[in-house]
Amino acid sequence: MARYVIGRVLQFVLTAALASVVVFVLMQVLPGNAAQVALGTSATPEAVAALEAEYGLDRPRIVQYLSWIGGVLTGDFGTSYVTKAPISPVIFNSIQVTLIVVLASMALALAVAVPLGTAAAVLHNRPTGVIISGASQIGIAIPNFLAAIILVMVFSLGLGWFPSSGWQAPIEGFGGFLERLVLPVTALALVQAAILTRYVRSAVLEVMREDFLRTARAKGLPAGRALVRHGLRNAAIPVVTVAGVQLATLLIGAVVIEQVFVLPGMGTELVRAVSNRDLVTVQGIVMVLVVLVLLLNLIVDLLYSVLDPRVRRAA
């Protein structure tokens, strides 16, 4: 078990290191000249040279990479060429917003998907099961920003129940914080719940075919209790895996949702930096998102080994 955890953590560190190289190469090496990009094609060579000198872009690439990644590891993402402001505060403020939205959405999506998916599996040849199944199929096909727009149309513009946009930190007023959280979280969670419902359904269906459920019934458990006692934990294993992958998707999905609701999250900052051609900021935010994705995968794998004794012994 310990060997497995250590091995998996090492793999995470290695992949993250490689990913940082990829991000650096993508953002700094491929475009050619970051200073030129930031200033635009009309900039004079003198202005470009001045910017390069100011930010150390005239140093060798490897030195630039090491100084950047060294900063990242100590929480310093450098200074934007465009706004001339340090990037770290931007990231630290926006990551909170994004994480709150993403985690709340995942919790809501799971709360909906687990019972619905189980019901769809148990009732798979009854109308209820078919309806749940069909509805989830349609739900998957709706982009989350469309769901967001529809929610705004109905609950904000139509019924006036919730504000259509904006953000309030919890300390500034918890009621206002919750009020502004409802629509973005629901929009993300709806689509996510549809995806997870399908996975829960197929995981439970799979488990229902297992021989050990027949054994449980042969021992004297009625079919329903056999499924609850023996089936659901087994079905949880593939669902946990998928939920981890889906958290990564949610993280990126939040980028779009934040635009709809004008939330000051990582997505909003990312899109702003891209439009400003502020590559250093983009680089920082992308690096954080990538590490978050890898971290989620790591957590899922560790959780998996807790759930499944067969993985525990595999080194």
Partner 1 sequence: MTTRRSLDPTLDPTGSAELAGETVEPGAPGAIDPGAVDAAAKPRRRRLNASLVIGLILVGLVVVMALVSYVWTPYNPTEAMPEDRLQGASAAHWFGTDRYGRDTFTWIMFGSRITLLVGIVSVAIAMLIGVPLGIIAGMTNSGLLSGTIMRGNDLLLAFPALLLAIVFSAVYGPGTGPAMVALGIASIPGFARVARSGTLQVMSTEYVMAARAANRGTFAIATTHVLPNIAGMVIVQASVAFALAVLAEAGLSFLGLGTQAPAPSWGRMLQESQQFLGTRPELALWPGLFIAIAVLGFNLLGDGLRDRLDPKLRGRD
Partner 2 sequence: MTESLLTVQDLEISAGQRHLVHPTSFTIAAGERVGLIGESGSGKSLTSAAVMGLLPGELSARGQVKLSGTEGNLLTWSERRMARLRGRDLSMVFQEPMSALNPLMRVGEQVAEVMRIHRTANPAQAKARAVELLERVRLPDPRAAARAYPHQLSGGQRQRVMLAIAMANSPRLLICDEPTTALDVTVQAQVLDLIREAVVADGTGLLFITHDLAVVASVCERVMVMYRGRIVESGSCEQIFTDPQHEYTRGLLAASDLTATDDRGRLFTIASAARYRSHASGDGAMTDAEADAGSASRAAPVDLATGEPLIEVSELVKTYSRTRTSLFGRADRVEALRGISLSIPAGRRFGIVGESGSGKSTLLKILSGLEPPTTGSVQVGGVHVESATSAQLRSMREDLQIVFQDPFASLDPRMKVADIIAEPLVPMRVPERKRRERVAETLAAVGLEPESAHRFPHQFSGGQRQRISIARALVCRPRILVADEPVSALDVSVRAQVLNLLTDLVDEYQLTLVFVSHDLGVVRHLCSDVAVMKSGEIVETGDVESIYTNPQHPYTASLVAATPSLEDAFAAS
Residue ranges in contact with partner 2 by CB under 8 A: 125, 210-212, 214-223, 230, 233-234, 307-310, 313-315
Closest distance between partner 2 and the C-beta of residue 6, in Å?
15
The C-alpha atoms of residue 121 and residue 136 are separated, in whole angstroms, by: 13
| Helical segments of the chain, H only | 2-24, 34-39, 45-55, 61-73, 88-122, 127-141, 144-151, 174-208, 211-218, 223-226, 232-261, 266-275, 279-307, 309-313
- Phi and psi angles of residue 221, each rounded to the nearest 5 degrees, phi first: -90, 130
Stretch that binds partner 1, among 86-94, 109-117, 120-128, 286-294 (CB under 8 A): 286-294
Stretch that binds partner 1, among 68-76, 175-183, 212-220, 268-276 (CB under 8 A): 268-276
* Cβ–Cβ under 8 Å, residues 207 and 231: yes
Closest distance between partner 2 and the C-beta of residue 216, in Å?
7
Q: What angle do CA 191, 258, 117 make, to 5 degrees?
A: 15
Beta bridge pairs of residue 79: 86
Counting every residue written for the chain, the total comes to: 315
Closest distance between partner 2 and the C-beta of residue 224, in Å?
8
- Give yes or no for residue 82 binding partner 1 (CB under 8 A): no
- Give yes or no for residue 299 binding partner 1 (CB under 8 A): no
Q: Which is nearer to partner 2, 33 or 215 (CB)?
A: 215
Closest distance between partner 2 and the C-beta of residue 195, in Å?
25
Stretch that binds partner 1, among 2-10, 15-23, 101-109, 117-125 (CB under 8 A): 15-23
Q: Which is nearer to partner 1, 23 or 239 (CB)?
A: 23
Query: Buried b vs exposed e over 267-280: b needs ≥16 C-beta within 10 Å?
Result: bbbbbbbeeebbbb
Cβ atoms within 10 Å, residue 54: 13
Nearest Cα residue to 22 out of 299, 255, 286: 286
- Give yes or no for residue 150 binding partner 1 (CB under 8 A): yes
- Give yes or no for residue 293 binding partner 1 (CB under 8 A): yes
Closest distance between partner 1 and the C-beta of residue 141, in Å?
4
Q: Which does 125 bind (CB under 5 to 8 A by kind): partner 2, partner 1, none?
A: partner 2
The residues, ordered by sequence, that sit 6+ positions from 30 with a Cβ below 8 Å of its Cβ are none
Q: What are the tokens at 267?
A: 């997505």
- Give yes or no for residue 248 binding partner 1 (CB under 8 A): yes
Q: Which is nearer to partner 2, 179 or 308 (CB)?
A: 308
Q: Which is nearer to partner 2, 84 or 310 (CB)?
A: 310
Nearest Cα residue to 270 out of 13, 23, 11: 23
Nearest Cα residue to 38 out of 94, 92, 78, 69: 78
- Give yes or no for residue 105 binding partner 1 (CB under 8 A): no
- Chain positions contacting partner 1, by CB under 8 A: 11, 15-16, 18-19, 22-23, 26-27, 30-31, 137-138, 140-143, 145-146, 149-150, 152-153, 157, 209, 248-249, 251-253, 255-256, 259-260, 270-271, 273-275, 277, 279, 282, 286, 289-290, 293-294, 297
